Amino acid sequence: MAALLQENTLFPLLFVLCMAVSVSSHSRPYTVPNVPRLTGLFPRVSVDRGFSEFFGAQNIQLLNNGSYANLALTKSSGSGLVSRSKYHYGFFSAAIKLPAGLSSGVVVAFYLSNADTFPHSHDEIDIELLGHDKRNDWVLQTNIYSNGSVSTGREEKFYFWFDPTQEHHYYSIIWNSHHIVFFVDNIPVREFPLSSAFSSTYPSKPMSVYATIWDGSQWATHGGKYPVNYRYAPFVVSLAETEMVGCVSDPRRQPPSSCSDKSPSSSLDPVEGQDFAALSQQQIMAMHWARSKLMFYSYCKDTSRFKVMPPECN
């Protein structure tokens, strides 16, 4: 009888433990901080007016008179959009709904880059959304490159406090002469300040805005352990409510056109004012919440990769 009782007790316990292991991070009871709403402060631009095709035109579908778009990854190709303008500083945001189901190896990216103009010394500010296998959640990876230092990317990785496949969520970037800030649903998750002590690591040249979905099998999910399984294709990401405002600039000018000059290729930077020069106390507290609860990797703690830590980590 005691053995039977032990067996009957053990089975539910094991079941609970197994369920606990499989519970995703966004199923946990998070109390999300209140923060100022930055999305919606600036005019939204329809996808067809703000972007042009970058690659995979057959997998790009414009909807609702071009106000939003679906981008697909199939076995033959991924797809992507690129902004019609280049920017030197600004606010960049999109509402994104990620593909549901098994999505290992899939990479959805919303980012700024000038690799087309400066192939050997390019800058980049990345929001990368990395697909999951059946046991894990989607992952948010932020990254910064400057002056072509692709071997020294500055990655940080986070889990979500929600299911990013169920509805659209906002992914946003502020880039100005004070700092770079990454936001998810208006909550800042990372700030990278401009400092004279490490100014060479700060993106400084005009960039285009990109939205892409592509096959990252070689690295995206657990270092490439789980490649894309095309039996679950097509993988479709929805892009809506895009905002792109800043100093529209000509990267061929040396130095690049300033947001304060009077040249026809520039416009005033709307995120240069005091409201965008520093995070508020409320935003700082929210960022601490996100980083303490949801960040699981930072390059500044990767001693196996960096024998000498990058200067901003100190």
Phi, psi of 58 (to 5 degrees): -70, -15
Q: Which amino acid is at 90?
A: G
Question: Which residues are catalytically annotated?
Answer: 124, 128
Residues sharing a CB contact under 8 Å with residue 201, sequence separation 6 or more, in sequence order: 144, 146, 149, 154, 310, 311, 312
- What is the rounded CA–CA span in Å between residue 268 and residue 259? 5
**Residues 96 and 111 sit within 8 Å (Cβ to Cβ):** no
Report how far Cα 295 is from the mean position of its chain's Cα atoms.
14
**DSSP output for 255-304:** SPPPTTS--TT----TT-SHHHHS--HHHHHHHHHHHHHHEEEEGGG-TT
The number of residues in the chain equals: 314
